[in-house]
Structure 1
Amino acid sequence: MLRHYLVLVENADYRRAITALFFGRHVFAIARLGWMKDNPIQRERRLCRFCKVVIETPEHAALQCQADLYTVSLRNNLREAVRAGNKWEIPLNLTNRSSLYWFKKILFNWDLIGLCAKYMYEISVHWAKTKMFIAPEEITANQ
């Protein structure tokens, strides 16, 4: 049986974006900065390119980061669509753990996968246009 996103997401760009997410081949620093064979960047230095506060993960980009207005606008549209379609109220202020919970809940919901794939495609394209941020070693060494 094919994965739900391969069957339900008709747009090829959206399907590629969601597939990249599942396989860890996305644009977010948590994966991208770990790919360097000779000198992978330490996990704690892979901070969000916009807020520069927490490690940049797909769930942070999708549901937490407030530092980029375009992403926040897209997220508000996602929240409204999820509320209208599934009656779920995604909280505005999420912890790392709760953002991962909500991210998975949306990703693995058959009714929402098309919407989620579109959203992840849009923010992936947008985030890829901004250079990733690598925290200096002396900052992360003090934490």
Structure 2
Amino acid sequence: MLRHYLVLVENADYCRAITALFFGRHVFAIARLEWMKGNTIQKERRLCRFCKAAIETPEHAALQCQADLYTVNLRNHLREAVRAGNKWEIPVNLTNQSSLYWFKKILFNRDLIGLFAKYMYEISVHWAKTKMFIAPEEITGNQY
């Protein structure tokens, strides 16, 4: 059986954005900085390019980071649409664990996948325009 997003998301760019999440080929540092041949950056140093305070994961970018106004505005539209359509109230301040919970809940909801695919595409394009941030070793306390 095909993944639900392959059938329900009609826009090819939006579908590719979701597929990239499943295969770890997205624009976010947690995966992107792991691809570097011979120079893998430690997970703790793959910080968010905007807030520089948390590891940059898809769920952080989608639901947590408050440092980029464009992303926050898109997220507010997503939250309003989810509230209107599914009566779910996505909290504004999420922990890492709760952001992953909400990320999966929306991602695997057949009624919301089209909306979420568009959202992930839009923030992926936006985030890709800003250089990734790699924390210096002394900030994270890691040494080679």
TM-score bracket for the superposition, by shorter chain length: over 0.9
| TM-score, reference length from structure 2 | 0.98
Question: Which residue is 2:135 aligned to?
Answer: 135
Question: Which residue is 2:72 aligned to?
Answer: 72
1:5-51 C-alpha deviation (Å, 9 max, x unpaired): 00000000000000001110000000000111211100000000000
Q: Report SS of the residue matched to 2:47.
A: coil
CA separation in 1, counterparts of 2:137 and 2:127?
A: 23
Question: Which residue is 2:38 aligned to?
Answer: 38
CA separation in 2, counterparts of 1:138 and 1:74?
A: 34
Q: Could you tell me how far 1:142 is from its partner in structure 2?
A: 6.9
Number of aligned residues: 143
Deviates more, 1:56-65 or 1:34-43: 34-43
1:39-69 C-alpha deviation (Å, 9 max, x unpaired): 1100000000000000000000000000000
- Gap runs ≥5 in structure 1: none
CA separation in 2, counterparts of 1:79 and 1:60?
A: 15
- Gap runs ≥5 in structure 2: none
CA separation in 2, counterparts of 1:139 and 1:19?
A: 33
Q: How does 1:1-143 map to 2 (within 5 A)?
A: 1-141=1-141
Which consecutive aligned stretches of 4+ in structure 1 deviate over 4 angstroms post-superposition? Answer: none
CA separation in 2, counterparts of 1:32 and 1:63?
A: 19
CA separation in 1, counterparts of 2:98 and 2:89?
A: 13
CA separation in 2, counterparts of 1:53 and 1:65?
A: 9
CA separation in 2, counterparts of 1:133 and 1:142?
A: 16
Q: Could you tell me how far 1:118 is from its partner in structure 2?
A: 0.2
Aligned-pair RMSD on alpha carbons?
A: 1.1
CA separation in 2, counterparts of 1:141 and 1:35?
A: 22
1:85-143 C-alpha deviation (Å, 9 max, x unpaired): 00000000000000000000000000000000000000000000000000001111179
Counting aligned pairs with the same residue, the percent is 90
| TM-score, reference length from structure 1 | 0.98
Q: Report SS of the residue matched to 2:40.
A: coil
Change in CA separation of 1:13 and 1:142 when aligned onto 2, cut-off 3 Å: closer
